[in-house]
Structure 1
Amino acid sequence: MKHTASTVITSAFVLGTLSLVSQAETIVKLGFGSPLTGPQAHYGKDNLNGVQLAVEELNVKGLTIAGQKVKFQIVSEDDQADPRAGTQVAQKLVDQKVNAVLGHFNSGVTIPASKLYSEAGIPELAVATNPQYLKQGFKSAFRLVGNDALLGKVLGEYAVKTLKAKNIVVVDDRTAYGQGLADEFEKAVKTNGGTVSRREFTTDKSTDFTSILTSLKANKPEVLFYGGADAQGAPMVKQMQSLGISAKIMGGDMLNTDQFIELAGGKAAEGHFSAVSGAPIDRQPGGPAFEKKYKQRYKQDVVLFAPQFYDAAYLVAEAMKKANSVEPAKYLPALQKINYAGVTGQFQFDNNGEPKNAPVTIYQVKNGKWTVVAVK
């Protein structure tokens, strides 16, 4: 058969076009929001590391959805742990038409930001623990860990029933996270027959608690519950030691970091307690393997919620696969009905977006390390 030059050129054009079509990729934008600067940056960077690790793996695997290869991209924003900055970040992510949002970290940021995501129909997976986050009723919102009602219940019961504390005082930093957790702790103390003799508050920017602690010293507390982060909790325990206050501090997941121990100067951190939503990493189904590759990739230890953020990226990918679509409106129903075995555990959500399986781990600083003392 004789081919003309035009036939050859046309054939080459068609083949080239088919090749380009076959190589076409669907870009999936995963919006991310957490504090990446300031005193809470170590939490946010840890969260981002978890997402990055998942995205790198997903892109190597090369998912195909709706007949096209999918490439995941992270659209990362620094919300500064500030509600005002958080809503600005949320609007930026909405304007960039992200396919999902992984974050935020702080309840005070997550609660107002979630309204914007809901209005845009974008699924959001957060570790914010204040119950109000999901009480808003947004069907696009999901929580990756247990909420403050659960954490507060476990901590309050432990303080009264296990530590046998008769004199308990409470201090919070007035954030949605700190105040919310402190409220739930106080409620649980009373439910278990205990008494909170004093309730004080500070801010999430304060590092000098001398005045408050001097006043509380007269109460001779056995337990001081602090609702807030490690950047304030650590100087608080140092100042307690200087003032001769022997009470044990109890707090939530934001105290459970190596930085708390380091900032407290080691010795002052000994004996204090924290509670974290989820099982210890070495007891999570994929925890040890995740921890190993995290250390290999980032040359550091997991700070707190990197495994949950890693799971969040995979949860979105799994829902998209089940729905055979990357469009939020189409894969959202699949996410609501998900049953997925993640690194941190089996993920299923109730009708409100709460996780159905949410253990709580209580830790105590022993010999310079956070050590598991109970899993509830």
Structure 2
Amino acid sequence: MTMTFRFPLARLSAALTLGFALSAGSALAQEVVKIGYSGPLSGGAALYGKNVLSGMQMAVSEINAAGLEIGGKKYKLEIVALDDKYNPSESAINAQRLVQEHKTPAILVPHSGGSFAVQAFNERSNFILLSYTSVPQITARGNKLTIRIPPEFTGYVEPFVKHAMSKFGKSVAIANADHDYAKAWTAAFKPAWEAAGGKVVADNPMSYNKSTDFYSGVSRVMAAKPEVMFIGGASEPSGLVVKQARELGFKGGFVIIDQAKMDEMAKVIGGYGPLEGSIGVLPLVDDERADAKAFVQRFRQANPGRDPSSEVSLNYSAVHATALAMKLAGSVSDPAAIRAKMNEAFKTLPAKYNPNDYDGVDEKGGTMANTWVGTVEGGKVKQIKLRDLAAAK
């Protein structure tokens, strides 16, 4: 026996209308604000770019889980990520697309070449450039809508020179990458080494982003018999340069620019042993500070089998600070008002979200932090406060 249930059409229509209304009401209750990202997600610097993006996404997940209310409205944050292959012209194209198609009030670019390209129009197009590069020229230009995420790299130069020269000697070979950021480091490092009484015995930058075989380039600088090698670019190729140098018999120390992370390099070369005598930025996984250790644990729980680099943590904090600046400004669509609150946001960022100990933004838009560095001694990383290293005799 078949039973038929009849539901009046008018009642069905009313029920559907009510359902759609409830759904629409729920959607309207939480608006979306998008933060743009243009960085290398393919090519030799892909790991670097993906680390930056991982930090941004981790912050967004935490912000959305906690709830974000700005000016009486609830918002959901989203990251819109585009690959620029470490190419500045692609960075500019991506930034224009992000603003036009996604109305992003802020765009993060993790390299100096791309940042310079975007600065050509970000004020006119009215969006904040979150520049992940420690090149001081980024903020020296006076761009009113730029935040430089890491502190200036120039603070590393003299302490790194002092340490390497005291441990190994006064002859150095320059064998770092040949992109804009590495060139800026070389322009600061070379005169500082010479001013300290050292000699540059070889100068042979290499294309870290395109090459995977550094035999000829490393052989060329090794022929000058340096006691120290100045290296660095993206972490993986930097590790390969170290490996090649050790295989060719280099016994000296390495000065490593802050783009390369020693823990990422160690994964390529079989541990910290080949990095003996190196000085570079402190690997986050070796940072003994409580907030840093807690951050590493949270990241590992969310990303099994992975360790966070400082690219992860610094850009994680930058996104948290940007969201806090939006709250303080009471706006997601007024970049100037958000930018005006960035110093307060970094200063008051809860310690949980600030594993690298940011303590504000200077008048030019550059962040300030209590920075630590790492040296490799006996196959292990030794943690040193940069200010103490600079003061050492």
Q: Same fold (TM over 0.5)?
A: yes
Kindly, what percent of the aligned residue pairs are identical?
26
Q: What's the counterpart of residue 303 of structure 1?
A: 309
Tell me by how many angstroms 1:373 deviates.
4.6
Tell me by how many angstroms 1:40 deviates.
1.8
* Partner Cα distance (1:284, 1:122) in 2: 35
Contact 1:260 1:269 (C-alpha < 8 Å) held by counterparts: no
Contact 1:126 1:144 (C-alpha < 8 Å) held by counterparts: yes
Provide Cα deviations, 1:3-62, integer angstroms capped at 9, x if missing partner: xxxxxx9xx99xx79x93895223111112222122222222222221112111111222
When residues 63 and 201 of structure 1 are mapped into structure 2, their CA distance, relative to the original with a 3 A threshold, is closer
Q: Does 1:352 align with 2:364?
A: yes
Q: What's the counterpart of residue 343 of structure 1?
A: 355
Contact 2:40 2:86 (C-alpha < 8 Å) held by counterparts: yes
RMSD: 2.9
* Partner Cα distance (2:27, 2:250) in 1: 69
When residues 281 and 318 of structure 1 are mapped into structure 2, their CA distance, relative to the original with a 3 A threshold, is farther
Q: Secondary structure at the match of 1:163?
A: helix
Q: What's the counterpart of residue 263 of structure 1?
A: 268
Q: 2:325 aligns with which of 319, 337, 347?
A: 319
Q: Secondary structure at the match of 2:74?
A: strand
Q: What's the counterpart of residue 389 of structure 2?
A: none
Q: What's the counterpart of residue 339 of structure 2?
A: 332
* Partner Cα distance (2:149, 2:325) in 1: 15
Letter of the 1:210 partner, please give it.
Y
Superposition TM-score, scaled by structure 2 size: 0.82
When residues 54 and 231 of structure 1 are mapped into structure 2, their CA distance, relative to the original with a 3 A threshold, is closer
Letter of the 2:287 partner, please give it.
D
Q: Secondary structure at the match of 1:286?
A: helix
When residues 59 and 237 of structure 1 are mapped into structure 2, their CA distance, relative to the original with a 3 A threshold, is closer
Provide Cα deviations, 1:144-195, integer angstroms capped at 9, x if missing partner: 21222122233222222x3252211212322111111122222222233322
Tell me by how many angstroms 1:68 deviates.
1.0
Q: What's the counterpart of residue 96 of structure 2?
A: 91
Q: 2:197 aligns with which of 193, 197, 208?
A: 193
When residues 91 and 257 of structure 1 are mapped into structure 2, their CA distance, relative to the original with a 3 A threshold, is farther
Q: 1:362 aligns with which of 366, 374, 392?
A: 374
Contact 2:171 2:226 (C-alpha < 8 Å) held by counterparts: yes
Q: Secondary structure at the match of 1:174?
A: coil
* Partner Cα distance (2:266, 2:26) in 1: 55
Q: Secondary structure at the match of 1:347?
A: strand
How many residues are aligned here?
A: 361
Contact 1:143 1:353 (C-alpha < 8 Å) held by counterparts: yes
Q: 2:30 aligns with which of 25, 32, 43?
A: 25
Tell me by how many angstroms 1:296 deviates.
0.6
**4+ residue runs over 4 A deviation:** 265-268, 277-281
* Partner Cα distance (1:153, 1:118) in 2: 34
Which blocks of at least 5 consecutive residues in structure 1 are unaligned? Answer: 1-8
When residues 212 and 305 of structure 1 are mapped into structure 2, their CA distance, relative to the original with a 3 A threshold, is closer
Q: What's the counterpart of residue 50 of structure 2?
A: 45
Contact 2:168 2:227 (C-alpha < 8 Å) held by counterparts: no
User: Which has the larger displacement, 328-337 or 280-289?
Assistant: 280-289
Q: 1:290 aligns with which of 279, 292, 295?
A: 295
* Partner Cα distance (1:62, 1:265) in 2: 42
Letter of the 1:355 partner, please give it.
T
When residues 272 and 322 of structure 1 are mapped into structure 2, their CA distance, relative to the original with a 3 A threshold, is same
Q: Secondary structure at the match of 2:369?
A: coil
Letter of the 1:127 partner, please give it.
Y
Contact 1:279 1:359 (C-alpha < 8 Å) held by counterparts: no
Q: What's the counterpart of residue 5 of structure 1?
A: none
* Partner Cα distance (2:337, 2:330) in 1: 8
Q: What's the counterpart of residue 202 of structure 1?
A: 206
Letter of the 2:119 partner, please give it.
S
Provide Cα deviations, 1:57-105, integer angstroms capped at 9, x if missing partner: 111222221221111111111122222222222222221210212x222
Q: What's the counterpart of residue 375 of structure 1?
A: 385
Tell me by how many angstroms 1:318 deviates.
0.9
* Partner Cα distance (1:138, 1:166) in 2: 39
* Partner Cα distance (2:259, 2:339) in 1: 30
When residues 362 and 191 of structure 1 are mapped into structure 2, their CA distance, relative to the original with a 3 A threshold, is farther
Letter of the 1:38 partner, please give it.
G
Superposition TM-score, scaled by structure 1 size: 0.85
When residues 202 and 22 of structure 1 are mapped into structure 2, their CA distance, relative to the original with a 3 A threshold, is closer
Which blocks of at least 5 consecutive residues in structure 2 are unaligned? Answer: 1-13, 387-393
